[in-house]
Amino acid sequence: MEISLFHVIIINNIFLFKIIEGFYFMIDGHIKEIIVVDSSAFLHRYYHGYSNLESIYNGKRINVGALNGYMNYIFKLKKEFPHDHLIHILDPEGGSAFRKELLPGYKSNRTDKEEAFTIQKNLLTQVLDGFQQPWIQADGIESDDIISTYCSIYGKDHFVLIAGQDKDLTQCIVDEHPEGEGLVMMASLVKDSRGFNIHERRNEQYVIDKFGVHPAQMADFLALTGDGSDNILGIPGVGDKKAAELLNKYFDIENIIMNANNIKGKLGENIRAGLDTLPLMKQLTRTLTDLELPRIEDIPPVKDKELNLFVRELIHAENYWADDLTEYTQPVPSLNRRPNYDRFIK
């Protein structure tokens, strides 16, 4: 039977909403829905797309396009995906401490140090507070690890949606949790045929079709192929296709190492030459799932009406989406009625 776009089905007496790509959304409140946003990645994306919007901050003209684009995106994300909780996950200054201990050159190839982006990155938490958006950032812990841990905590009995672009996060995807009724999927921005940004919903089958392996094998996959964006080299001569073939035969890095002498030709030579580094590469590509984190529902939003006014004006927020993001419905005041914003200037 062909499933229409708005087809309601019942499984185990739970009403589900099925969309055309084959993903299920709870609509009776039985399973709560949580969105975790890879904020730093999206801020970077909008920095390159919204570069001409400026404001005066602390007496200086600064670019605020990334902040405007990001908050506008959050408005659209919240509209498209009904949810009980949404949390913004931020990368720390300096990145992952334990990965840099393992590999001093980890992400050292990233050279995006533009002042215009750094200023906006440093203002993001204040903007989130102004729009009553809960967020979390942990010293020395990458956002991928926080997201992965939250997926581990909530994935058993919640629908967890990862709003993110990073293929590292595909290892978190779970269509059916083995111990409960929960699931984890991704929503990533892609261009449609008209050039507009739309969400591509990514489940286990997406990962299998795209990379040739199961989400649970993605850390092994990236250890073999390497990840140029993170300065992880992988095994020479092993691309996506060859990595998928190896993992479909041997399942994981550990079994590949055990069977390295049975792998023929140049491929076998390269793998045997990399036996000492493969376990390290997997440590780098595998996201952490056991961090001690606060419960998402226990992270309160900041309530400050004047801060809301300040960030609206700072990033040139449109009232139609700014009003939707907070409990405050208010226009930016005229100059003679504006509060004193000095306490918000860092």
Residue 23 has pLDDT above 80, yes or no: no
- Look-up of token digits 């992988």: 234
Q: Extract the tokens encoding 156.
A: 């058993």
pLDDT of residue 21: 40
Distance CA 160, CA 182 (A): 8
Burial of 331 (0-12, 13-18, 19+ CB in 10 A): exposed
Q: Which one is predicted more confidently, 51 or 270?
A: 270
Least confident of 31-40, 277-286, 331-340: 331-340
At 27-65, the pLDDT tens digits run 444 579 999 999 999 999 999 877 789 999 988 999 999
Least confident of 11-15, 58-62, 82-86, 335-339: 11-15
Residue 3 has pLDDT above 50, yes or no: no
Residue 98 has pLDDT above 80, yes or no: yes
Average of pLDDT values for 18-32? 49
pLDDT of residue 156: 92
Average of pLDDT values for 241-254? 97
Distance CA 203, CA 190 (A): 15
For residue 337, name the pLDDT band (cuts at 50, 70, 90).
low
Residue 164 has pLDDT above 90, yes or no: yes
Percent of the chain clearing pLDDT 90 (strictly above) = 71
Domains of the chain: 1-30 (no CATH), 31-213+293-298 (3.40.50.1010), 217-285 (1.10.150.20)
For residue 43, which of 72, 77, 67, 63 has the smallest C-alpha distance? 67
Q: Which one is predicted more confidently, 50 or 312?
A: 312
Estimate the crossing angle of helix 65-80 against helix 39-49, to 10 degrees: 120
Residue 242's contacts (CB-CB under 8 Å, 6 or more residues apart) are: 224, 267
Residue 227 has pLDDT above 90, yes or no: no
Average of pLDDT values for 272-297? 95
Average of pLDDT values for 264-293? 95
Distance CA 27, CA 200 (A): 21
Judged by phi (left if over 0) then psi (alpha if -120 to 50, else beta), residue 88 lies in: beta
Mean pLDDT of the chain: 87
pLDDT of residue 331: 66
pLDDT of residue 231: 80
What pTM, to 2 d.p., does this model score? Answer: 0.88
pLDDT of residue 111: 60
pLDDT of residue 109: 67
